[in-house]
Amino acid sequence: MASAMPTQVIISNTLDHATGRIRIIDIKTLATIKEYNINAGNGPVMQVYGDKLSISNGVLNPGEYILNLQDSSVEYYPERRGTVFFTEDSYMYFSEKNNAGEIVFVKNDQIITALKRTDASFRPPNVYQYLSGYVSFYFSNGDLYLVNGNDLSFSKFSLKGYADVIYLNEDKGLAVHGRTLYCLRLSDGQVLKTKKLSFSGNFYFVSKSDDGRFITLRTFSMSLVPWSDTFMHERIDLYVFDLQNETLEKLASSVAGNGVGLTVR
């Protein structure tokens, strides 16, 4: 993540003849910085950790690919989804084995904790990183996990009824549902403040800046394109919400194509 707002977006697209590409694009100029000929499947969950890009894609494309953004090497892990790297020897991932789901914490090649979760077995939740070494992720049943990457301890909060939740600080989180943001108290789920967003569409979180001021969000829409091989085109728009001024601005022009996946750094 950037100290203020992200400067690059990483986009995955599926192409014709079972091919695909991943591109790193400068947000301001929209110039392609680097491109990889990799088919990540339709709508993958992607997250970047330094030079490593985690690519996971749900039921139809089991397993996880780790792309090294420097040397273009790729590793494949058939039973993993959404690995989160804290250090070289400390990480966590979502696991699927024999249709059973787990959240697995690993240090020095040893499994420290494995939490059983059925809803962790297919598509992993979006994971958000914070400068403090923490990460968070939110399941559709309302469970928010806040993980301390320094010692692999975690806290769990029950916050039902939202599309996604991101951690702000201390006992506060920010939830989104449709076009509305909700500032929450994590300990009891109390709504402290709401904010209706000025652009249309259903919003989802992408990241929080290191300084804690800016939240990157996206909208996702689909349209019929009769001349396309898939008859459908997906469009993703990026926005930045300023927590201090409570303003929302469009960050990047539309990203259109088939099977789009996206993350920022």
- What digits encode the pLDDT tens for the residues 155-170? 999 999 999 999 999 8
| Helix, coil or strand: residue 118 | helix
69 has pLDDT over 90: yes
pLDDT at 3: 47
The first and second tokens of residue 175, run together, are 């939830």
Determine the Cα–Cα distance for residues 19 and 4; give it in Å rounded to an integer. 35
- What pLDDT does residue 38 have? 86
Q: To which CATH superfamily is domain 8-264 assigned?
A: YVTN repeat-like/Quinoprotein amine dehydrogenase (2.130.10.10)
Q: Do the Cβ atoms of 192 and 201 come closer than 8 Å?
A: no
The C-alpha atoms of residue 40 and residue 13 are separated, in whole angstroms, by 8
Nearest-5° angle of CA 81, CA 82, CA 83? 105
User: Shortest CA distance to 81 belongs to which of 60, 62, 64?
Assistant: 64
pLDDT mean over 65-94? 93
pLDDT averaged over the chain?
88
C-beta separation of 33 from 22 below 8 A: no
Average pLDDT estimate for 211-228: 80
Taking the CB of residue 80, how many other CB atoms lie within 10 A of it?
A: 21
